[in-house]
Amino acid sequence: MSTISAPLADSRIMLRRNLKHILRNPVTLFNAALMPVVLMLLLVYVFGNAFNVGEHYVEYATPGLILLAITYGLSGTAVSVNSDMTKGIINRFKVMNVSRGAVLTGHVGATMLSSSVAIAVIIGMAFALGFRSPATPLDWLGAIGIAAAAAFAAAWLTVALGMAAKTPESAGLTVVPLLLLPFVSSAIVPADKMGQGVRQFAEYQPFTPIIESLRGLLAGTPSAGYAAAALSWCAAITLAGYLWSRATFSKRA
C-alpha cells in the first residue's frame, strides 16, 4: 500500500470511472452529438435561407453549432457530479485519502472527451452539408484551441453547478441557461439583426466573442481582438467554476 497518494493517478482512476459512466449511459452523449446535428439540419435546410447572413448559411452557423455541441453535453455532467455528491459515494472517497481534486478533475476530463466527440460529429456533419473553409492548418489549430478552452470553461462551471445543486434532477436544470445563451448570441443570426436590448446583451455575453473568434479562424480571417476576448472569458469562467467547485466540495460533507 502506498502512503503517498498521487493526485494524477487518482484523477486518471476517476476519469476512467466517469468515462465508463458515459458509455453505460449513452443517452447523454447521444444528446450532445445528436441535438446540434438536428439543429444544423433545421437551420440549414429550413430557416437558413430566410436569415440572409451574406454567406452560405452552413458556414455562418457552424461555429455556433460547435458551441452548442459543447453545451448540449453538459446536463449529463451536472447530473453525474450531483449524484456523486448526494448518493453517498463521495463520503467513501473522502475517508479514503483520495486526492480531493481527483473527483472534480475526473468529471472535467470526461466532459472534455465527450465534448470532443460531439464537436467532431458536428464538424463532420458541416462538411457533409457543404461547409468549406479556407482556413490554414494554423487557423484550425487556433479554432481547436478556442473550442477546447470553451469546453474546459463550460466543464468547470458545470461541475460547480452540479456540485451546488440539491438533487440530481435540479442539477440537470441548472445548465439550461448555458443551453439557451448561444441562441441570444451571434450563433444563429448576427447580433445586429436583433432588437434593442437583446442586441446589446448578445454583443457583450461570453458566447459571442467565442463564436466570433471561431468564425474568424474558420473563415481564414482570424481576429486577435475576438480571440483575446474569448480566451479571457474562458479563463475567467474556468477560474470561477474551479473555485466555486472547490469551495462547495469542501463544504458538503
| Minimum distance of another protein from residue 103's CB (angstroms) | 11
Residue type, 214: L
| Minimum distance of another protein from residue 106's CB (angstroms) | 11
- Helix and strand numbers, DSSP H then E, in the chain: 13, 0
Give the C-alpha separation, 165 to 2, whole Å: 35
**Cβ distance to another protein smaller for residue 16 or 193:** 16
**DSSP state at residue 222:** -
Binding mask 5-44 for another protein (x = CB under 8 A): xx--xx--x---x--xx--xx-------------------
Query: 206 vs 79, 125, 153, 185, 196, CA distance in Å?
Result: 24, 25, 11, 9, 18
Identify the three-state secondary structure at position 244.
helix
Give the C-alpha separation, 116 to 111, whole Å: 9
Give the chain's end-to-end CA distance (angstroms, integer): 26
Residue with cell 476576448: 229
With CB under 8 A as the contact rule, the residue among 47, 56, 94, 240 that binds another protein is 94
**Cβ distance to another protein smaller for residue 40 or 90:** 90
Note whether 100 binds another protein by CB under 8 A: no
Binding mask 54-93 for another protein (x = CB under 8 A): ---------------------------------xxx-xxx
Binding mask 178-217 for another protein (x = CB under 8 A): ----------------------------------------
**Binding footprint of another protein on the chain (CB under 8 A):** 1-3, 5-6, 9-10, 13, 17, 20-21, 24-25, 87-89, 91-98, 253
